[in-house]
Structure formats: structure tokens, C-alpha cells
Chains A and B, each alone.
Chain A
Amino acid sequence: MNSVTEHQHVAPSRLQPVDGEWRRVSPKYIVVDLVGNLFSGLFTTAVATLPAWLLGWGVWWWLLPAVVAVVSIVLIALTPRRVRSIGYLLRDDDLLFRRGIMFQRFVAVPFGRMQLVDITRGPLARSLGLAELKLVTAAAATGVVIPGLPLADAEELRDHLVALAETRRAGL
């Protein structure tokens, strides 16, 4: 039994399982992500130059750091778009989370399945007043981390989620 959509004229190739008013994360998070990407890009580029220094077999080894640098720059350039792709949606019974442009990921976590809600803040995010909200279920693969939330929003969301989880509590 093949899918019906194959015979339709306009079949969207992009994954968009749920429509709705996705709530975006704070634009300030772009700065945090940008800095993080910049540092990791510099670091990996520096590491990639090591063979050229140590082996010194000629100019071809300098291609490696060059390629790494280009990839890092592309990643950095895409950061604003990537941050804009992060979104979450509170529905009646579950929380939806999405992220990614190239590699898209949608996760639905029922409120009754949340085991704990975590707020973490890095030094840079803290200076910008941002926080990160992490949802933990009994499955390790769930991995829902909503970054770049203003602290007040994050705390409000946490309390809301914990209250919801309490009313819909279930076994494992």
C-alpha cells in the first residue's frame, strides 16, 4: 500500500507534521550560539593545522584546516537561521519541540511523561538573561532542550510544565 500523496501534483518535501503558532526562542540567543560556534570553529581549525606543523610534508596538508575553516564559516553564517528554526508549541496534552533546517527534528512529549524539568544557564547566556530548559523523560533518546529562553519565561514555563505533569501523572 503506497502513499496517496505520491500521485498528487504538489507534494511538499519538507517535514511539517504539525501546523500551529510555534513559539520562537529569544533572538539574543543568536549571540550565544554564534560565540559558541566561533570558538569551536577556531579550535577545530587550529587542531586541523597540527598535521601540517608536525609532519611538514608540504602544502597539501594545509588544505585540511582550510576545509575545516570553510565549513565552520558556513555553520556560523547559518546560525541565525538555525536559531530561528528552534521552536516549541504547548498543546493541550503535550509539548512539541522542533529544531534544525538541514537536519530537522520534531519531538512530541506528553506532559504525563515528564520526569523532571531542568533549568541551566551558561555564563554568556546568563549575562544576556537567558536560560536553557531541559525536559527529561524515562527515555534517554527524548533529548528535548529548549535554549535561549528569557529567565522569567523559562521559570514560568517550568512551573507550568511541572504543574501539568502533576495533574497528568502516570506510571512509567
Chain B
Amino acid sequence: MTELADGRWHRLHPATPLLKGGIALLAILGIIVSNLRERLIEWIFPAVDCPPGVCDEDPFTLILDRYLLPTLLGILVLLVVILGLFWMSWRMHTFRVTEEIVEVRAGVLFRSHRRSRLDRVQGINVSRPLFARLFGAARLEISAAGSDANVQLAYLSSANADGLRAEILRRASGIRAREAAQSGEGVIASVAPDARANLADVARQRIAEFSAPELDPALAPPQSVVTMHAGRLVGSTLLSVGMLWFLVAIAGVAVAMALTGAGVFLFLGLIPMIFGLGSFLVNRIVKSLRFSIAATADGVRVGYGLLSTSNETIPPGRIHAVEITQELLWRPFDWWTVRVNLASHSTAKGAAGQRNTTILPVGSREEVLRVLELVLPGLVTDETRLLIEGGLAPARIDDGFTTSPRRGAVLRWFSWRRNGFLLHPDAVVLRRGAVWRSLTVVPTARTQSVAAHQGPLERMLRLAQVRLHTVTGPVTARIGALDVADASTLFREAAAAGVTAIRADRSHRWGSS
């Protein structure tokens, strides 16, 4: 247990003002120095006299000559005031972490006081921008559902940030409350039938018993289930649709060059575009190369970044929908992207500069299944594995999916054979698209509501649409062009499964079950 979580008020890393305003300060210093350079040289080598009428008119010289002392004093006072303000704001910025809440007080003139319940944690992000990394500092962001509901602790020392994250997750999981409840009983009495949960519990209890201050998750880094290859990153970026348009534009320019002969200027116009493309590629690769996604006792940990690093932990039951999609040109390589819906909005960007909802930028089918296993524990078993693989493949007879009837082809020209759904006790799986294939998985424990729609054209065709409402995100779970009877079944079953799942759901306090 880190001492920062002892329930008393603490201050942030002393270098915080420097880290927050550091780059601006450095830039201003740079400007001043570069402006003074000439004069400094002049001071050191006072050789040539200025011709009259040149130096005299420079207001800077005037100030130096006549008001040197007041100016210096003024600058000094200004510096002291600025430093004082920074020091004040750092002093006033305090936080505390208790058993139930995390609280932050900040501001000198405009005070703010934010209190957030730990059991409402949707995710914790530890990021280390390059500049802060040099100082051994890190930013901790505790996300809650809703916009602007996050608690940011910027900056903490790196080890403290890791320790605090572990402690907050431990408290949020409800382990502590459970330990308190059964403190009289032996450990053996608490053995749960689930062996996997057991292991985590034992590990956690050891941690609690020794309350080791040196505990650092970095000592035993979780094993990533995905390894990124530079070749795949470059390839997947180049084979995206946007990139295709870019190539088409270049080809167009080349043709225009050949036809008109006035080519060189057109080619010059392309150069900035090529530079832009290059920097985009380098940026993406630098950010994604060290991508890792791993299971921890407190949820999925997604990390990335080479220079500035970021590390997000999403506790179990905080992922509201998952979608596996494929760019058209990725099909020969069997590459897929995995996106998720989260209730919180982290300010940290995801890998490759994408939103942090892209949980796997690009991966093979095998890796997608492993990621799915992490984000929806319990869903990928030996039985469902085949079903999910069937969901990524073209439609087959008896692959478990209920698909659109033949007349659905009016609305789904190419995909009516594939367009279908699958009801699993824990999740609803929607399979869509023939050209742009996608597979959406919505855990029933996270569905907010279910809707069925039917318009006039659909009524003529005896079809209907079903939508599963989740929190806002990149994934929209809807499936159209279903037979009316199938749609009704899906609506009824999904609504009933949602109710059952709410009753059984314990992920709110994921460690206390």
C-alpha cells in the first residue's frame, strides 16, 4: 500500500509547475536568448562603435542605457510573482485517497473541489509524456462515466503513480470490504469454486498482508497477448482506404503531368503531401510499435508508446460493446481492428493517435480472439470459439447464426447471407457486411435497452430491425433486414437476457464476488 493512499491530503510532484508550463517557459527563454545573442556578443567584444542614428533609435538600447536598474528590478519582481503563483497553485493543489473516494482540491482564486467514488472507476490511465519521463514523473487519470468526469493527478513520481493505481484498483474491486467482512474466518473458508479468481485473491491477500511499499507492477510486467510487427503496421496503414485515395491522387497528378508536359510544378505540389504521409507513418509506427495488451488481476491493461508512453487499465465489466472490423484490402492478410465502447472519455489518445477506444489497431485472427478473451472474459470458450470464427468468415450453413431471409436482399444487396445474429447467454453477437465485414459483440450485462424498429418498406418485405443500446462510442449495435419473427425473438430474448444479466452482474465490485 502506497503512503499516498493513507486518506490524508497530499501534494503533487514538486516539479509539476515546471512540467505543466515547462515547454512554454523553455520557449520564452529561447526567444529571449536568441534576441539577446547579438547584444551579448557585442558586450563581450565591444569593438565597433555604432554609427549614430542606428543604435540610438533601438528602444532596447535606450532601456539598457538609461533604465537598466529599474528594468532588472521589474523583471525580478515579475519572476518572483510568477514563481510565487506557481508555488501557490502547487501548494493549493492537493489530493487524498480514502477507502471510498478520491478527492482533489485545486485553484488559488477559483477554487475547485472534486470528489469521485472509487467504485465508479471506469478505468485508470498512467501516461508519461516524454518531457515528464525525463523527470521520472507520470500523470494518473482516473476515468468515470460521463464527459469531463475524470480526476487527473498530474504529475506524480513514476513509482507513486504505479503504486497508487494498484491501490485504487484494489480498493475499487471491493477486496478490502470483503476481507473486513470475513476477518474472523480463516482464509481457507473463503475459497471460491472458481480456480482462476482464487489465484488472484491469494495474490491480492499476500499483497494486503505485507502491504509492501515497494510493490511495483513493473517488477512483474503482465505478458502481452499481442506482438506488433513493423511490417504489419506499415502494411495495414498503406492498405487503408484513405491511403488508396491518396495513391489515386498521385496517379492522377502523374497522368496530368504526362499529358500536359507542365509536370514539374505539379510534382512540386505533391511534395508536402508526401512529407505529411511520411510523418503520419512514422508517428503511427513509433506510437504503436510497443503496443501491448495484457490481463491483470484488475482488468485489461493496454499500453503503447516509444517516447511518450501511456498505460490504461480497464477493470472487468467496463467494456460495453466490442466490434471487430476489417478494411477491404486487409482481407488477404486476415487483419482485423478491434474497437470498444467505454462509458468514460479519457483525455489520453489511444495507440496510433486513434481514440483510446481502438483497443487493437491491427491484429491477426488469432490475436483478435485472444484480445476478445481478455475484454469479454468467459465468452470465448472452446465451444464459442468456433462460432466467433464463423462470425469472421463468410456465411456457412449451420454456423449458428440466424440470418436474413432471401427477401432481405432488397435491403442488404450483398450481405443478406451473412447478415445475422447469434444469442449467447452472456452476449448478443451481430454479424454484418459482405464487403466490409464486421462482428459486433454486446455483453448482455452492459446493454442499456433494446429496441425493435420497422418502417413501411420493411413492413412490405416482412422485415424488421433490432438495435441494442449501449453507451456512446464507435460501436453501434444494430441489425436490420431480419425476418419479423426472428427480430421479435431477438428483441424478446435480448431484453430478457439483459434483465437476467443485471441480476447476476457483480463486476461493479469485481473482486467481491
| Residues of A participating in the B interface, judged by any CB pair closer than 8 Å | 1-6, 11-18, 93-94, 102-110, 112-113, 137-142, 144, 168, 170-172
Closest to B455 in A: A103
Within 8 A of A (CB), among B453-512: 453-456, 459-462, 464, 467, 469-472, 483-488, 491-492, 495, 498-499, 502-503, 505, 507-508
Cross-chain pairs A/B with CB under 8 angstroms, 8 sampled: A5-B484, A102-B455, A108-B450, A108-B451, A110-B449, A110-B499, A142-B448, A171-B317
Closest to B489 in A: A17
Known A-B contacts A18-B492, A103-B453, A172-B145; A3 and B486 likewise in contact (beta carbons under 8 Å): yes
New contact pairs (7) apart from A15-B454, A103-B453, CB-CB < 8 Å: A1-B403, A3-B483, A18-B488, A107-B449, A110-B502, A137-B448, A139-B469
- Highest count of chain A CB atoms <10 Å: which of B451, B464, B472: B451
B401 CB–A CB distance under 8 Å? yes
Say whether B491 contacts A17, CB under 8 Å.
Answer: yes
Compute how far the CA of A140 lies from the CA of B451 in the bound complex, rounded to whole angstroms: 13
Compute how far the CA of A172 lies from the CA of B495 in the bound complex, rounded to whole angstroms: 16
| Residue count of chain B within 8 Å CB distance of chain A | 51
Contact of A106 among B320, B402, B491 (CB under 8 A): B491
B398 CB–A CB distance under 8 Å? yes
Q: Collect the chain A residues with CB atoms within 8 Å of residue B456's CB.
A: 102-103
Compute how far the CA of A170 lies from the CA of B317 in the bound complex, rounded to whole angstroms: 11
Q: Collect the chain B residues with CB atoms within 8 Å of residue A93's CB.
A: 499
Contact of A172 among B403, B471, B483, B492 (CB under 8 A): B471
B208 CB–A CB distance under 8 Å? no
Contact of B483 among A5, A102, A141 (CB under 8 A): A5
Compute how far the CA of A141 lies from the CA of B483 in the bound complex, rounded to whole angstroms: 23
Contact of A104 among B145, B454, B471, B502 (CB under 8 A): B454
Contact of B484 among A14, A18, A110, A137 (CB under 8 A): A14
| CB contacts between A and B, total, < 8 Å | 137
Closest to A109 in B: B449
Say whether A3 contacts B448, CB under 8 Å.
Answer: no
Compute how far the CA of A107 lies from the CA of B465 in the bound complex, rounded to whole angstroms: 12
Annotate B326-369 by CB proximity to A: 1 below 8 A, 0 otherwise.
Answer: 00000000000000000100000000000000000000000000
Closest to B407 in A: A6
For the complex of A and B, the 4 pairs showing the least CB-CB separation, nearest first, are: A171-B508, A139-B448, A108-B495, A17-B488
Compute how far the CA of A18 lies from the CA of B494 in the bound complex, rounded to whole angstroms: 13
The distance from the CB of B213 to the nearest CB of chain A, in whole angstroms, is: 31
